[in-house]
């Protein structure tokens, strides 16, 4: 095994890169939460990262997360699990039961479903509104013009919103999109910014990301 195949080494490299990017931007590395995106990876791939002290993980499907994480949580109590994939309204209750954060609130029907789910439990995952920052319909996210209205609905339903999330268009310089998400968050008084993936997390950190979502750089290429 070369060092590059060692998950603990990859993790320390990613943490180092976050620390460097934070330093360049005059930020503290501790202000950036690294979410290890473990979608498609099984427990045997996840355990080495847990052993290397990673505790924050992300998944993009409710069912897959339900299959994997309850058992892993029996092994380690302090796992923080984030939902980063698009969420069907009929899965809102399951998602609230399982996840500590949901990054993909993007439409009124989901706001309604989450508010209903909250009525049945004391669990309160942190909520992010996903913004369709590149105005590309296929990626999900609320249109930039619809953001004020959606946030107002969240307030009406007593859903506290922690921040905004985006996935910029591929093969384009991401910094302008990250900067725009930052401006929108500031405009609405929101502190958290979920942005940056394996290819661009350093740029995201320099643009103010508080949560970066990194899969490939930690786990290797997915066999999707």
Ligand X SMILES: *Cc1c(COP(=O)(O)O)cnc(C)c1O
Binding site for ligand X (CB under 6 A): 37, 39, 60, 84-85, 167, 197-199, 213-217
Residue 27 vs 39, nearer CB to ligand X: 39
Residue 134 vs 215, nearer CB to ligand X: 215
Q: State the nearest-atom distance from the C-beta of 51 to ligand X, in Å.
A: 21
Residue 113 vs 197, nearer CB to ligand X: 197
Q: State the nearest-atom distance from the C-beta of 39 to ligand X, in Å.
A: 6
Q: State the nearest-atom distance from the C-beta of 37 to ligand X, in Å.
A: 4
Residue length, the chain?
224
Give the residue at shortest CB distance from ligand X: 215
Strand partners, 130: 165
Q: State the nearest-atom distance from the C-beta of 219 to ligand X, in Å.
A: 8
Q: State the nearest-atom distance from the C-beta of 121 to ligand X, in Å.
A: 25
Residue 118 vs 168, nearer CB to ligand X: 168
Residue 118 vs 205, nearer CB to ligand X: 205
């Amino acid at each position: 095994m070369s060092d590059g195949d060692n998950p603990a080494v990859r993790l320390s490299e990613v943490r180092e890169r976050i620390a460097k990017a934070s330093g360049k931007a005059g930020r503290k590395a501790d202000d950036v939460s690294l979410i290890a995106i473990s979608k498609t990876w099984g427990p045997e791939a996840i355990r080495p990262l847990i052993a290397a002290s990673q505790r924050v993980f992300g998944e993009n499907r409710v069912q897959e997360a339900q299959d994997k994480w309850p058992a892993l949580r029996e092994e380690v109590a302090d796992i923080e699990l984030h939902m980063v994939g698009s969420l069907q309204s009929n899965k809102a209750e399951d998602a609230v039961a399982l996840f500590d954060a949901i990054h993909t609130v993007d439409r009124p029907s989901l706001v309604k479903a989450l508010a209903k789910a909250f009525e049945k439990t004391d669990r309160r995952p942190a909520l992010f509104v996903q913004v369709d920052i590149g105005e590309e319909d296929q990626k999900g996210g609320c249109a930039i013009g619809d953001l004020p209205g959606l946030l107002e609905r969240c307030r009406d339903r007593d859903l506290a919103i922690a921040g905004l999330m985006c996935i910029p268009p591929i093969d384009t310089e991401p910094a302008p999109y990250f900067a725009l998400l930052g401006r929108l968050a500031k405009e609405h008084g929101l502190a958290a910014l979920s942005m940056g993936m394996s290819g661009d997390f350093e740029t995201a950190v320099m643009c103010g990301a508080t949560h970066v979502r990194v899969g490939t750089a930690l786990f290797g290429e997915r066999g999707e």
